[in-house]
Amino acid sequence: MQPINSKIVTVILVLILLMVLLYCYINQPYRFSIISAPLSELNEITKTNRSPSSEQKAITPNNRSDPTHIVTHEFHLVAPDHLQYQQPSIVFGRTDVVMVTPWLAPVVWEGTFNPNLLDSIYKLKNIRIAATVFAVGKYTIFLKNFLETAEQHFFVGFQVHVYVFTDRPLDVPQVKMSAGRQLTVRSVPNSQRWQEISARRMELIQKLIEDNLHSYADYIFCLDVDSQFHGRWGTESLGGLVGVIHPGYYRDDRSRFPYERRPESRAYVAPGEGDFYYCGGAFGGTLEEVHLLTKTCHTNFIDDAKEGIEAAWQEESHLNRYMWINKPSKVLSPEYLWQDFKPRNPEVHLVRFSGVIKNYAAIRPNV
């Protein structure tokens, strides 16, 4: 009898052990959520996060309890099955430029991304892009070229809503826009100082986002009007906070960057600090990120003014200070804002957007 009893005890112990193991396995917190949710449902989750009503509730800027903590869902990238494209490599590619920042944000250069793949991914997300452009005073002369070339190159095939801010609404040209693209004109007062016109953009973009833009757009880009598109500017530029590297300084030592150097200013960047010199003429990202950027830069600009100080390059200086602390999640190479007067450097394979040559004395209200 003795050996049979010990066998039964062993079997019972093994059974208990198996049941404990089974119990632990079943109760892994992530197991059922993944296995029981079919792919279609995962897609639904992504869509639901982005639906205007839920987004509005979650991120209405005025009601934010913690404005410095932004959670986005942009990293869930779903590609259509069976899409054919060139095999990617991690050992072959461009070697003449740096494609990632020290905080691991991509730096976008021609030849580093697949436009068709990216468009396919973002088509599924049904994204909407807002673009702001200011044309105050004589700067309305730049609108026609800006808007016409945007039709040819800026997020072609996507929903785009251009917001033109001007004091001369009657001078906004009629430009034929493709299906899914529209233009809204917003009236703004003129000013006797170009510095003020340029800097006030931050406040007006902040207000635009607060005026319920969440119902109409997912991403926003803020662009100078004295510029034109020459090549694709599309889904490769999307990110949380997107900065564009200024074409004038990217080969220079940081000591030569025209940051605000007076410690009294809120735009101050100390010697030996700063990553890149970013453009004030092009930046963007999600509505939440751009709202925080414009609000911060505007507030700092006003608080500086109260103390009688204006940063060296107005809102561009504040933006550079902001991006030193708040690192952009995507950095666009100078392909995304070149200057027409500047010969193309060899690493710039394609100029996508550039500032046109202008006669400052003829178009600005002051010198």
Binding site for Mn ion (CB under 5 A): 224, 226, 281, 355
Name the minimum Å distance from CB 175 to ligand UDP: 17
Total binding residues toward ligand UDP, as defined by CB under 6 A:
15
Q: How many helices (H) and strands (E) does the chain have?
A: 10, 11
Cβ nearer to ligand UDP, comparing 207 with 364? 364
334 binds ligand UDP, rule: CB under 6 A: no
Q: Which of 55, 74, 119, 224 binds ligand UDP (CB under 6 A)?
A: 224
Name the minimum Å distance from CB 109 to Mn ion: 22
**Alpha carbons 4 and 320: distance in angstroms, whole number:** 81
Instruction: Select which of 74, 260, 316, 335 is catalytic.
Output: 316
Whether residue 316 lies in the annotated active site = yes
258 binds ligand UDP, rule: CB under 6 A: no
Give 353's strand partners.
Answer: 229
226 binds ligand UDP, rule: CB under 6 A: yes
Which letter, b or e, does each residue of 48-60 get, where b requires 16 or more Cβ atoms within 10 Å of its Cβ? eebeeeebeeebe
Q: Which of 74, 119, 128, 139 binds ligand UDP (CB under 6 A)?
A: 139
364 binds ligand UDP, rule: CB under 6 A: yes
Binding window for ligand UDP (CB under 6 A); candidates: 1-9, 94-102, 129-137, 259-267:
129-137
Nearest residue to ligand UDP by CB is: 224
Cβ nearer to Mn ion, comparing 266 with 352? 352
230 binds ligand UDP, rule: CB under 6 A: no
**Alpha carbons 297 and 184: distance in angstroms, whole number:** 25
**Alpha carbons 297 and 80: distance in angstroms, whole number:** 39
Place of tokens 């973002």: 122
Cβ nearer to ligand UDP, comparing 160 with 225? 225
Cβ nearer to ligand UDP, comparing 105 with 188? 188
Sign of dihedral through CA atoms 101, 104, 106, 109? positive
Nearest 10 degrees: Cα torsion 327, 213, 176, 188: -90
Cβ nearer to ligand UDP, comparing 137 with 169? 137
Tokens of 361: 């004395």
**183-202 residues near ligand UDP, rule: CB under 6 A:** 194, 197-198
Give 285's strand partners.
Answer: 220, 241
209, containing H or E segment: helix 194-210
From the number of C-beta atoms within 10 Å of its C-beta (0-12, 13-18, 19+), residue 195 rates as middle
Active site amino acids = 316
Binding site for ligand UDP (CB under 6 A): 134-137, 139, 194, 197-198, 224-226, 281, 355, 364-365
